[in-house]
Amino acid sequence: MTATSIATSRVNWQALADQALAGDVLSREQAQAVLAAPDTELLDQLAAAYRVRRYYWGNRVRLHFLLNAQSGLCPEDCHYCSQSKISSAEIEKYPFMAQEKILAAAERANSLKAGTFCMVISGRSPSDRVFAQVLDAVRQVKAQYPMKICACLGLLDEAQTRQLAAAGVDRVNHNLNTGENNYGEICTTHTFGDRVATLEAVQSAGMTTCSGGIFGLGETSDDVIDMALALRRLEVTSVPLNFLIPIPGTPLEGRQDLNPRQCLRILCLYRLLLPAQEIRIAGGREVQLRQLQPLGLYAANSIFVGDYLTTPGQAVQADYAMIRDAGFVLEGPNGEEMDDMP
């Protein structure tokens, strides 16, 4: 039976949840069926995904706060990115932030009940000078706030990852972005293998890994599945799932391949293929999920609060209301349930 025929017949979604909870990976045919299911099956799919999410994460939602600590001026040609060398997008460009600005951002993140402070810099990999500034900023934030720290610094080697771990970084982000077969279509200045090597260097230094991707880049359903299976093989801990914001001035300007129901099916698939991982609805959720954002929390257990790298996010109070109205609670830095919500 083909994936199409499975999708048009009645699939037992709870059986797929049983399979995920037992630790068994879905077959490619089953994964294709999740993505190809009709809209009439969507609530049943979400119920199955929620059962898996609840087993591992309860009703907790973890908040991440994203700081773009160095913007623009990147020599890479990632086609989706407003900061790349081939982008003409009108964005703010600046070198690595002064320490007082980073500490002010950390204070805001802490006040917003973020469990993780994510520090991001543009570029292929950090220069020695910028890397030293990053290490100093990490030490200062770690000394003053209880949040976990995630650093996104581009390509890294084992020596750099060891220094990050010693400074207090808990996790490093480096997204795979898409399936390996599709990677050359969205970037030519580095490879899928380069990204995998960075993740392996992070793990060798004893830190956990954060890696996910972007949907709406022209990928096939096989590419969606391939990336999930690669993340599973790499035993990635945290998985941010972005939905393309087609920023004017980038090569993907005007692309619109997604709709809210398809985004939800992708979230369901990733929960079933990555049952124990933290799955975060990241950039583009406001643009692509629109009024269905709350439903995404039944598969995912984490969101960014505040703005993204070069695009604005939803108002913070709207995020709190969404979490509260759906019956979820906030998760603290160490996984604890937090009683208070601003």
pLDDT in tens, 187-211: 999 999 999 999 999 999 999 999 9
How far CA 80 is from CA of 122, 254, 313, in Å, comes to 14, 11, 17
- In the predicted model, what is the mean pLDDT of residues 221-227? 98
> ∠ at Cα 28 (46, 3), nearest 5°?
75
Express each pLDDT in 278-334 by its tens digit.
999 999 999 999 999 999 999 999 999 987 777 778 889 999 999 999 999 999 888
Catalytically active residues, by annotation: 74, 78, 81, 118, 150, 210, 280
Going along the chain from its start, the domains and CATH numbers come out as 61-329 (3.20.20.70)
Instruction: Among 14-23, 76-85, 157-166, name the one with the lowest average pLDDT.
Output: 76-85
Query: Which among 72, 116, 133 has a CA at the least distance from the CA of 303?
Result: 116
pLDDT at site 91: 84
Express each pLDDT in 84-102 by its tens digit.
888 888 888 889 999 999 9
Q: Where are the beta strands (DSSP E) in the chain?
A: 60-70, 116-121, 148-152, 171-173, 208-210, 213-215, 238-243, 278-281, 302-304, 329-331, 337-338
Distance of CA 133 to the CA centre of its chain: 25
Looking at the predicted structure, is the pLDDT value of residue 67 above 90? yes
Structure tokens at 328: 């979820």
69 SS3 class:
strand
Looking at the predicted structure, is the pLDDT value of residue 122 above 70? yes
pLDDT at site 113: 93
Looking at the predicted structure, is the pLDDT value of residue 216 above 60? yes
Q: How many residues does the chain have?
A: 342
pLDDT at site 8: 45
pLDDT at site 291: 96
pLDDT at site 307: 73
Express each pLDDT in 241-264 by its tens digit.
999 999 999 988 988 889 999 999
pLDDT at site 314: 85
pLDDT at site 9: 59
